[in-house]
Structure 1
Amino acid sequence: MKRFAKWRLISLFAILALVLSGCGRPYLSSLRPAGEVADIQYDLMKLSTWIMVGVIIVVLIIFTIVFFRFRRKDDRIPKQVEGSHTLEIIWTVIPILLLLILAVPTVAATFKLADVKEMDKKNSKALVINVRSHLYWWDFEYPNEKIVTSQDLVVPTNEKVYFNLKSLDVKHSFWIPAVGGKLDTNTDNINRFWLVFDDKRANEAGNLFYGKCAELCGPSHALMDFKVKAMSRADFDTWVKDMQAVKQPEKAQTDLAAQGQEIFNKSCIGCHAVTPEDKPEAARLAPNLTNFGERSRIAGILDHNKEELKNWIKNPETYKPGNEMTNKYPAMTDEQLDALAEYLMGLKVQD
């Protein structure tokens, strides 16, 4: 009975795993490709899966035939085929052909996805974004546009977007599951690749994709998320112009926000920037907050509202253990938190 109960438990967990594997949202799944790179990778996944399934089916058929046809009925020894040149050739040639079928498109795709020479051309019009990973957040520099933002990656749809990837502390990995990737961000070299964000799939996902760190990097690795806002080229150009127009920190609109701005200038300005200007890597100590009021998440994981913002400022270690913000500023009263949250939620560059 104990053995039966164990198998019943295993079966229950197997069914549960199968059910949970179908859960999730379309903008989080690599099985619903939303761009050219994702399409290429998905096609390779399907090709390799079909090859593996085909091999399994053939092996099972041969096994079944041999099992029933050559099962022992008497003491006679069946005809031996050891050393058959025909069989040797067959089971040598077939794997070679299968490997070629898989290798040719894989190698071709690898070279295509690694083609970033457009980034090196003089006067290139390619959109290049420098991705910098930190514990446990991301910043995105647009060198040609001379702006920097954090946590929210903004990109145009239906065109190649090129990325330079680097880490400023430990190894991380840049991954947008629905669009393609992933690629490591290292401290000692820069990795480069490109992605295309499909307009139709972006609309289906509400113009918002989720990105993650795909390399175990510390206690809050699973919480190192970022958001991708995909929009038309016209909307993207408008966003760039609005960001470039911010030359001074956004002025507080209310008396409470003005108190919050004063607190920010005394406690937070040493690490956080509130203008999208390009800064040296060494000066990027914390996320850029220029358009904080327009973001979709706080700290990449919390709902974007004042209460969650105050909770995060009050005790960031509760939400992201091991983060670099803990104990970097004096404790604040509820009144100070209200004022600071009012100011930060008002940091917007677009109406």
Structure 2
Amino acid sequence: MIRPSMCWMVTLLLLQQAGLVAERVDPALVPSVFAPESVPAHSISNLATFVLAITAAIFVVVVSLLVCAIVRFRRRANDDGTEPAQFYGSGPIEAAWTTVPILIVLVLTLSTARVIQEVQDARKPAGALDVQVIGHQWWWEFRYPKLGIVAANELHVPERLATFLELRSADVVHSFWVPRLAGKTDLIPNRVNSMWIEPERPGLFVGQCAKYCGAQHAKMLLRVYVDTRGDFDAWVRQQQQLAERDSQVAAGRLVFERTACINCHSVRGTVGDGRFGPDLTHLMSRDTLGSGALENSPANLRAWVKTPEHFKPGVLMPAMNLDDAQLDQLVAYLTTLK
């Protein structure tokens, strides 16, 4: 018998696809487990399809027997009300309804165990990319230890190369999930988990934290950019550069360095070395602000710095209470961090 939760999952998937048709959203940006584009995601999708096929067959058999019983043994117009002949117990039938479920559970268990072993125990290739993923309330930190790069909320990886992710949490339990690339894996305080992806094509893949982690859990979004090898190498070179020192925005840099900004944020090449908030060295190279809360533009950046609470109620970043002149100077400086 199909569980109600599975019926809900199928229903939500159909509603999601109907919404795409109505809104003309790019299907590639829909986080669907049924459209895998990475090696581990294919294994998970195949298992899900296999399980759905078996449970669908069970559903068809059960419903068919139910319909047959309703039709064949329904009350008829010439029914005289006498009790029909009764049969108590049937060895073959009892053996069947005991053996068949055991075999089904055994097959599902072995299939699931095989996929878990295939995904979790995969050998790490010599040339694999290493990335440390740190979950914060409510944003993502990405560290590339071998490349000396620190990024936030937007993960860049090369296509057709295994990327192994080391998952940590700085506060509460989070969960890293990009459905098209891999299954979800939890980030647990004081514990290191790991997972890997191997995307098959360049493009943008979206996901989010899949574990309730506080008031702004729904806005802890995640973007994975899969680049060609050449584009990824260019991105690495750009990210390894120090922050540009533009004399025309020196006043804004002073605002950054003389206020509480440096307590939480880091800009390489300045005195700012905070670790509580995202690294801002290449802030304007990102497409979004606030872990996907809004598009990254000078106007949105100014609004975010002025009142971050407006976009993410409960956000840990305080309003800086800068006057308009200081705010304009600070934003002018931040927009040079590309």
* TM-score normalised by the chain length of structure 1: 0.82
Matched with 2:326 is 336
Q: Paired residue for 1:238, among 234, 239, 245?
A: 234
Quote how far apart the aligned CAs of 1:344 are.
1.4
CA contact (8 A) 1:140 1:153 kept: yes
Q: Say which SS state the counterpart of residue 175 (structure 2) adopts.
A: strand
Q: Distance in 1 between matches of 2:107 and 2:269?
A: 49
Alignment partners' CA distance in 2, 1:74 and 1:304:
78
**Residue 52 of structure 2 aligns with which residue?**
49
Work out whether residues 157 and 198 of structure 1, in 8 Å CA contact, stay in contact via their aligned partners in 2: yes
Q: How does 1:1-351 map to 2 (within 5 A)?
A: 19=15, 22-24=18-20, 25-30=27-32, 31-72=34-75, 73-118=79-124, 124-199=126-201, 202=202, 207-244=203-240, 246=241, 248-252=242-246, 255=248, 257-267=249-259, 268-275=261-268, 284-300=275-291, 301-327=293-319, 329=320, 331-348=321-338
- In the alignment, structure 1 segments of 5+ residues that lack a partner are 1-14
Cα distance change on mapping 1:22 and 1:198 into 2, 3 Å: farther
Judging changes above 3 Å, is the alpha-carbon distance between structure 1 residues 276 and 224 closer, same or farther for their aligned structure 2 residues?
farther
- 1:52-71 Cα shifts (integer Å, max 9, x gaps): 22111111111122222233
1:34 is displaced (CA, Å) by 2.0
Question: CA 1:19–1:272 in 2, change beyond 3 Å: closer, same or farther?
Answer: same
CA distance change for structure 1 residues 258 and 222 in 2, over 3 Å: closer, same or farther? Answer: same
Opposite residue 272 of structure 1, the aligned amino acid is H
Inter-partner Cα distance in structure 2 for 1:86 and 1:197: 50
Deviates more, 1:216-225 or 1:92-101: 92-101
| Structure 2: distance between partners of 1:82 and 1:167 | 59
1:167/1:85 CA distance change after superposition, 3 Å: same
Residue 213 of structure 1 and its aligned partner are, at CA, apart by 0.9
Seen in structure 2, the aligned counterparts of structure 1 residues 170 and 96 have a Cα distance that, compared at 3 Å, is same
Alignment match, 1:4: none
* Residues 55-97 of structure 1 deviation map (CA, whole Å, 9 limit, x = unaligned): 1111111112222223353445444443211111211222223
CA RMSD of aligned residues (A): 2.5
**CA contact 1:134–1:167 (8 Å) conserved in 2:** yes
Distance in 2 between the 1:217 and 1:19 partners?
26
What is the Cα deviation at residue 302 of structure 1? 0.7
List structure 1 runs of 4+ shifted beyond 6 angstroms: none
- C-alpha separation in 2, matches of 1:105 and 1:132: 32
Partner of 2:3: none
SS in 2 for 1:23: helix
**1:9 is matched with which residue?**
none
Deviations 1:288-329 (A, max 9, x none): 1121111110112211111110110001111112222114x4
Equivalents in 2 of 1:233, 1:222: separation in Å?
Answer: 32
**SS at the partner of 2:19?**
coil
- 8 Å CA contact retained: 1:115, 1:193: no
Residue 157 of structure 2: SS of its match in structure 1? strand
2:19 aligned partner, one-letter code: C
Q: Report the counterpart of residue 6 of structure 2 in structure 1.
A: none
Q: Count residues with an aligned counterpart.
A: 315
What is the CA-CA distance between 1:114 and the residue it aligns to? 0.7
> Would the alpha carbon gap of residues 116 and 140 (structure 1) be closer, same or farther in structure 2, given more than 3 Å must change?
farther
Deviates more, 1:173-182 or 1:110-119: 110-119
Shift of 1:18: 5.7
Distance in 2 (alpha carbons) for counterparts of 1:154 and 1:195:
12
- Residue 169 (structure 1) shift: 0.8
CA contact (8 A) 2:128 2:161 kept: no
Matched residues in 2 for 1:276 and 1:227: separation?
A: 27
1:239, 1:346 → 2: CA distance?
Answer: 17
Q: Structure 1 counterpart of 2:155, which letter?
A: L
